Chains A and B, each alone.
Chain A
Amino acid sequence: NAGVMQNPRHLVRRRGQEARLRCSPMKGHSHVYWYRQLPEEGLKFMVYLQKENIIDESGMPKERFSAEFPKEGPSILRIQQVVRGDSAAYFCASSPRLEFGEQFFGPGTRLTVL
């Protein structure tokens, strides 16, 4: 059973461009979470999705950020019109069930905005 996959591992964008980060959860996992690690900071919750539904996006900036987890295919975190402050490592985690919430993390995507 392959682990959580994220791609790309590294992404470089210029200010104003769009960034798309993909996350394929572990097989059989229907819960997906996105976390962000800003430089010199810890992991911070952004958004929680189940298939086709956003359950909680309270940690995600209201502007420019969006997330989806379609019925088929990976979860996508999309950042429009990136700014330098978006430079961070973005981690995806998945879990098979909600109880106690054990989450399995992907290797992360490191976004650099020039």
Chain B
Amino acid sequence: ILNVEQSPQSLHVQEGDSTNFTCSFPSSNFYALHWYRWETAKSPEALFVMTLNGDEKKKGRISATLNTKEGYSYLYIKGSQPEDSATYLCAFLNDYKLSFGAGTTVTVRA
């Protein structure tokens, strides 16, 4: 069982503020790290697949960085909007299996 940890478990953000949260994973035998966005009653939606140390990926106001040597990734949301409210999951790819963290639930207050 691979230990993938996310913190914080939840956070509340004022609309317009920026925020970030972390995912830590085993630094050995790294292959890929995935970020998913999961809204209530919907399917988890892939945000990023990150494969290289130092990777930075961006989609709109959401971006992610990757440090494979120390085993962590940050997800950033710039200028949070109510529609950003969701649970953000990271998952470590080992062989073909994804080991998921428990997620960070973001609530954006208007």
Contacts and interface: CB of A to CB of B under 8 A. Distances in A.
A108 B96 CA distance: 20
B43 interface: yes
Interface string B54-93: 0000000000000000000000000000000000010101
A106 B100 contact: no
B44 A102 contact: no
A106 B44 CA distance: 8
Interface string A32-61: 010100000111110010000001100100
A42 B4 CA distance: 11
B109 to A, nearest CB: 24
Interface string A1-28: 0011000000000000000000000000
Contacts of B97: 33, 45, 48, 56, 59
B96 A31 contact: yes
Q: Which of B46, B101, B103 has the most CB of A within 10 A?
A: B46
Contacts of A41: 102
B100 A102 contact: no
Nearest to A50: B96
Given A42-B100, A48-B96, A56-B96, A100 B46 contact: no
12 contacts: A33-B96, A33-B98, A45-B97, A48-B96, A55-B96, A91-B44, A102-B34, A105-B36, A105-B44, A105-B45, A107-B41, A107-B43
Given A42-B103, A43-B98, A45-B99, 11 more contacts: A42-B100, A42-B101, A48-B96, A98-B96, A101-B32, A102-B49, A103-B46, A105-B36, A105-B43, A107-B42, A108-B43
Interface of A: 3-4, 31, 33, 35, 41-45, 48, 55-56, 59, 91, 98, 100-108
